Amino acid sequence: MAQPEEQSPRERWMQLVKNVCVTIICGILVGLGIQLFLTPHQLLSGGIPGIAMIMQYAANWNVSLVYFVLNVPVIVWGWISLGRKFILLSLLSVIVTTVTLQYIPAYQVTADPIMGAIVGGIVIAIGVGYSLRVGGSTGGFDIIGFIVTQKRDFPLGTVLSVLNSVIIVFLGFLVSWDVAFYSLLSLFIKGRCIDMIHVRHMKVTAFIITQKSDLMAEELIKFPHGITMVKAYGCYSHTENYMLMTVTTRSELPVLRKRVLEVDPRAFINIVQTAEVVGRFRRVI
Question: For residue range 70-108, what is the model confidence (pLDDT) as tens digits?
Answer: 888 888 887 877 777 778 888 899 999 999 999 999 899
- In angstroms, the CA 118 to CA 249 distance is 29
- Residue 120's pLDDT band, with cuts at 50, 70 and 90, is very high
- In angstroms, the CA 227 to CA 236 distance is 26
Pairing of strands 268-273, 239-249: unpaired
Quote the pLDDT of residue 283. 53
Q: Is the pLDDT of residue 119 over 90?
A: yes
Quote the pLDDT of residue 275. 66
Judge contact between 241 and 210, C-beta under 8 A: yes
Mean pLDDT along residues 165-180 = 77
- In angstroms, the CA 71 to CA 264 distance is 48
pTM, to two decimals: 0.70
Residue 195 CB contacts under 8 Å (≥ 6 apart), including other chains: 155, 156, 157, 158, 201
- In angstroms, the CA 32 to CA 212 distance is 54
Mean pLDDT check: name the lowest of 10-19, 213-222, 229-238, 268-277.
268-277
Which fold is adopted by the domain 203-273? Alpha-Beta Plaits (3.30.70)
> What are 190-228's pLDDT values in tens digits?
878 877 776 555 678 899 999 888 888 888 888 877 888
DSSP class of residue 227? -
Average pLDDT of the chain, as a whole number: 81
Judge contact between 186 and 161, C-beta under 8 A: no
- In angstroms, the CA 73 to CA 254 distance is 36
- In angstroms, the CA 34 to CA 117 distance is 10
- Residue 5's pLDDT band, with cuts at 50, 70 and 90, is very low
- In angstroms, the CA 46 to CA 71 distance is 13
- In angstroms, the CA 138 to CA 218 distance is 38
Q: What b-and-e string marks burial along 162-194, b requiring 16 or more CB atoms within 10 Å of the CB?
A: ebbbebbeebeeebeeebbbbbbbbbbbbbbbb
Q: Is the pLDDT of residue 186 over 60?
A: yes
- In angstroms, the CA 157 to CA 282 distance is 19
Domain range annotation of the chain: 9-197, 203-273
Judge contact between 285 and 82, C-beta under 8 A: yes
